[in-house]
């Protein structure tokens, strides 16, 4: 007798057959005596189809109206899933974000959950109903529909789990769990049975694309145990929980991110405070800067390099081009032909030599490293994009073929 929150992504409910597959998972969980709250995304390509309809009419449509449009997607999938569960003979009710008590900030398109008031969810659970909630959406203080941004359904699920103090939050997706590397690319990639929140956060931000980062942050904050698993194979997935509860692995995974670009500001005068000014300016524009490398000053100038998401590249270059002259630097150059490859592991801090092993693997494969960044549980290197897959393979081989788990 537990309270379980189950979240299903768009591919899990893409068509009638898949909807019934999900209904089967949900009702089996319910039939075992659990209370079940289901969070569902829009079906397959619904969101993209709706965006296309909007683009056809007004590519500059307001975010308010975009949210009004897009929230219809989950409304459709939630009611269809409810109908499938009815068909299987179980009591069920679907609720929209606002009915489920999701109150968000007013930032249409990327709203943050401010609070969840789960009165209606509780009432329906008391009535022994399976409760389906539309993910990705809520209402703001004007009573207008808002969306949480892409991947927001994960966050919706964790928020319900947090406020309801759920025993488990299962994130069903189209992969079987969290792997030591991308299983489509690295043949020896292993599924992890458990991983810490911090490692998951590093992997997610590195492009592993298994879980939305905000959802992991929220799970960590409220100590909600997550399980990432596949709705199709139904194999046991990967548990994400607090690191101290488990044996620390030295390395939990190898990830790559090809959607980065490197920007260099050449000839920055060697005066204190300029780097601070540059990065404050970028922060004010919400540009997230990752690896930063500053050359040693020579002739009274230095070069500052850093990486940004490719989607921020154009804006960042425009911003800096105007600024470069003002601070007396000579030019701004950029390179999109780069990839970031990282190893992540909570045990890394107590196991020296991880960086050395990683660099050795790259050296043996003749892969050149342009930039390096390290944190307590992560080492990232910037390399040429064409080397990325090979780099992941050789690094994965280095750590996992030798089975050097702590």
- Establish whether 101 is an annotated binding residue: no
Contact between residue 20 and residue 84 where contact means Cβ atoms under 8 Å apart: yes
Among 66, 113, 133, 164, binds its own copies (CB under 8 A): 66
The long-range contacts involving 325-332, CB below 8 angstroms and separated by at least 24 positions, are: 327/268, 327/269, 327/274, 327/277, 327/278, 328/268, 328/269, 329/265, 329/266, 329/267, 329/268, 329/269, 329/301, 330/266, 330/267, 330/301, 331/265, 331/266, 331/267, 332/263, 332/264, 332/265, 332/266
Measured torsion, CA atoms of residues 118, 119, 124, 127, in degrees rounded to the nearest 10:
130
d(CA 361, CA 376): 20
Has 29 been labeled as part of a binding site? no
Please state, in angstroms and rounded to a whole number, the distance separating the CA atoms of residues 319 and 205. Answer: 24
Residue 255 CA to its chain's centroid (Å): 13
10 in a known ligand binding site: yes
Smallest gap from Cβ 31 to its own copies, in A, equals: 19
16 is a contact residue toward its own copies (CB under 8 A): yes
DSSP H or E segment with residue 334: strand 331-335
Residue 315 CA: distances (Å) to CA of 149, 309, 311, 319 = 20, 11, 8, 6
Under 8 Å between Cβ of 151 and 34 = no
Least separation in angstroms between CB 158 and its own copies:
24
The span of 58-66, 187-195, 285-293, 327-335 binding its own copies (CB under 8 A) equals 58-66
- The region of 47-55, 275-283, 291-299, 312-320 touching its own copies under the rule CB under 8 A is 47-55
Taking CB under 8 A as the binding criterion, the range among 48-56, 169-177, 258-266, 357-365 that sits at the site for its own copies is 48-56
Whether 374 has a binding-site annotation, put simply, is no
Contact segment (CB under 8 A) with its own copies among 55-63, 203-211, 346-354, 389-397 equals 55-63
Note whether 232 and 8 are within 8 A (CB).
no
Q: Quick one: which of 398, 212, 265, 254 has its CA closest to 339? A: 254
- 228 contacts 237 by C-beta, under 8 angstroms: yes
Residue (111 or 255) nearer to its own copies, CB: 111
Q: Is 47 annotated as contributing to ligand binding?
A: yes
In the chain the first and final C-alpha atoms are separated, in Å, by: 35
Report the site for its own copies in 85-104 (rule: CB under 8 A). Answer: 86-87, 93-94, 96, 99
Nearer to its own copies, 126 or 143 (CB): 143
Least distance from its own copies to the Cβ atom of residue 110, Å: 18
Per-residue contact string for residues 134-173; x = within reach of its own copies by CB under 8 A:
---------xxx----------------------------
CB 35, min distance to its own copies, A: 20
Q: Of 72 and 289, which CB lies nearer to its own copies in the complex structure?
A: 72
106 binds its own copies (CB under 8 A): no
**102-104 and 145-147: which strand pairing?**
unpaired
Paired strand residues for 306 = 263, 292
Mask for 67-86, x = binds its own copies (CB under 8 A): -xx-xxx-xx-xxx-xxx-x
| Binders of its own copies in range 323-352 (CB under 8 A) | none
* 9 belongs to an annotated ligand binding site: yes
Rounded to whole angstroms, the Cα distance separating 84 from 86 reads 5
Residues of this chain that bind its own copies (CB under 8 A): 16, 19-20, 50, 53-54, 56-58, 60-62, 64-66, 68-69, 71-73, 75-76, 78-80, 82-84, 86-87, 93-94, 96, 99, 120, 143-145
Binding site listing for ATP: 7-10, 173-174, 184
Binding site listing for substrate: 47, 74
Binding site listing: 7-10, 47, 74, 173-174, 184
């Amino acid at each position: 007798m537990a309270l379980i929150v189950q979240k299903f992504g768009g591919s899990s409910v893409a068509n009638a057959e898949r909807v019934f597959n999900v209904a089967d998972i949900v009702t089996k969980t319910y039939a075992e005596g659990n209370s079940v709250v289901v969070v569902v995304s829009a079906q397959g390509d619904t969101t993209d189809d709706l965006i296309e309809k909007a683009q056809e009419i007004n590519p500059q449509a307001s975010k308010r109206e975009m949210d009004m449009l897009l929230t219809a997607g989950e409304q459709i999938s939630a009611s269809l899933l409810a109908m499938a569960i009815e068909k299987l003979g179980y009591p069920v009710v679907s609720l929209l974000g606002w009915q489920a008590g999701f109150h968000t900030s007013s930032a249409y398109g990327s709203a943050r959950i401010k609070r969840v008031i789960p009165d209606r969810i509780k009432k329906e659970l008391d009535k022994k109903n399976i409760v389906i909630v539309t993910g990705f959406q809520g209402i703001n203080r004007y009573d207008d529909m808002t969306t949480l941004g892409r991947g927001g359904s994960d966050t919706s699920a964790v928020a319900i789990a947090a406020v309801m103090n759920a025993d488990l939050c299962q994130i069903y997706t189209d992969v079987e769990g969290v792997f030591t590397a991308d299983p489509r690319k690295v043949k020896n990639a292993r599924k992890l049975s458990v991983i810490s929140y911090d490692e998951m956060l590093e992997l997610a931000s590195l492009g592993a694309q298994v879980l939305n980062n905000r959802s992991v942050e929220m799970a960590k904050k409220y100590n909600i145990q997550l399980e990432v698993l596949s709705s199709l194979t139904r194999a046991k997935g990967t548990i994400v929980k607090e690191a101290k509860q488990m044996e620390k692995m030295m390395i939990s995974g190898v990830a790559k991110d090809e959607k980065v670009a490197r920007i260099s500001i050449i000839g920055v005068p060697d005066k204190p405070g300029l780097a601070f000014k540059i990065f404050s300016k970028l922060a004010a524009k919400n540009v997230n800067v990752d690896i930063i490398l500053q050359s040693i000053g020579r002739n009274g100038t230095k070069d500052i390099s850093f990486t940004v998401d490719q989607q921020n590249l154009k804006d960042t270059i425009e911003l800096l081009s105007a600024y470069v002259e003002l601070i007396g630097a000579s030019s701004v150059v950029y390179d999109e032909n780069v990839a970031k490859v990282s190893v992540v592991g909570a045990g890394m801090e107590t196991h020296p030599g991880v960086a050395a092993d990683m660099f050795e693997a790259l050296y043996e494969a003749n892969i050149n490293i342009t930039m390096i960044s390290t944190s307590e549980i992560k080492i990232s290197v910037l390399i040429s994009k064409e080397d990325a897959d090979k780099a992941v393979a050789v690094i994965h081989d280095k750590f996992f073929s030798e089975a050097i788990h702590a």
